Chains A and B, each alone.
Chain A
Amino acid sequence: QKEVEQNSGPLSVPEGAIASLNCTYSDRGSQSFFWYRQYSGKSPELIMFIYSNGDKEDGRFTAQLNKASQYVSLLIRDSQPSDSATYLCAVRRYSTLTFGKGTMLLVSP
């Protein structure tokens, strides 16, 4: 059983739309949850993290966490072509951060 699962995509949305990226995890002891963005050939860059159930907003990005359902999501409002990248969900338990394979997002002009 994979520890962190993401749909590989690609998820295609038009410019200006809301992109919704989803992630499920298997370890109920997971303590914190992260979203990274990775452009092709580049390293991951941190978008945001969330610890508690509910929503957390940062600019155009909103992270949502539901620990009972073991589900994390990232919403990107007003999507831009520059948002086209692979989005990695990561789950932390103690010192270990476990990543999913990522979802490719394509935003068309």
Chain B
Amino acid sequence: ETGVTQSPTHLIKTRGQQVTLRCSSQSGHNTVSWYQQALGQGPQFIFQYYREEENGRGNFPPRFSGLQFPNYSSELNVNALELDDSALYLCASSYPPTGELFFGEGSRLTVL
């Protein structure tokens, strides 16, 4: 186990709804990265947070947003859900931002 925990593990939403996913980073890690993994694909970088600031963003629309808290835990928020948002959402922590990523077990989102 990596020490990175995510919640919830599974959830079902309908198109147009909003979702919040949560992540607690491994002890001693100050950086959290979020990835989206669609079925049969590799993880796609959404964004990274370092010391509560966004430290890089992939090619995702603004309806994907995030936060990092002083204890380095993080949230991923997705507004106006679309069917294509159905995927496994992975949180990974690292120290420093360019260090190895250690992934949590993921949150599997299904949008109907």
Name A residues whose Cβ lies closer than 8 Å to a Cβ of B.
4, 31-32, 34, 42-46, 49, 88, 90, 92, 94-102
Known: A43-B105, A95-B56, A96-B56. A101 touches B98 (CB 8 A): no
Q: Is the CB of B98 within 8 A of A44?
A: no
Docked complex Cα distance between A94 and B99 (Å): 10
Q: Is the CB of B103 within 8 A of A99?
A: no
Q: Is the CB of A100 within 8 A of B100?
A: no
Of B39-47, B60-68, B78-86, the segment with at least 4 beta carbons within 8 Å of chain A is: B39-47
Name B residues whose Cβ lies closer than 8 Å to a Cβ of A.
2, 33, 35, 40-45, 48, 50, 55-56, 58, 88, 90, 97-98, 100-106
Distance in Å: Cβ of A99 to nearest Cβ of chain B = 4
Q: Is the CB of A92 within 8 A of B98?
A: yes
Q: In the complex, what residues of B have CB within 8 A of residue A31's CB? A: 98
Q: In the complex, what residues of B have CB within 8 A of residue A90's CB? A: 42
Known: A31-B98, A95-B98. A43 touches B106 (CB 8 A): yes
Distance in Å: Cβ of B84 to nearest Cβ of chain A = 17
Q: Is the CB of A44 within 8 A of B90?
A: yes
Docked complex Cα distance between A76 and B99 (Å): 24
Q: In the complex, what residues of A have CB within 8 A of residue B43's CB? A: 44, 88, 99
- Among candidates A45, A88, A95, A101, residue contacting B48 with C-beta atoms closer than 8 Å: A95
What would 27 A/B residue contacts be, using CB atoms closer than 8 Å? A4-B42, A31-B98, A34-B100, A42-B105, A43-B105, A43-B106, A44-B90, A44-B103, A45-B103, A46-B100, A49-B100, A94-B56, A94-B98, A95-B33, A95-B48, A95-B56, A95-B98, A96-B45, A96-B48, A96-B56, A97-B33, A97-B101, A98-B45, A99-B35, A99-B42, A99-B44, A100-B42
Docked complex Cα distance between A44 and B88 (Å): 11
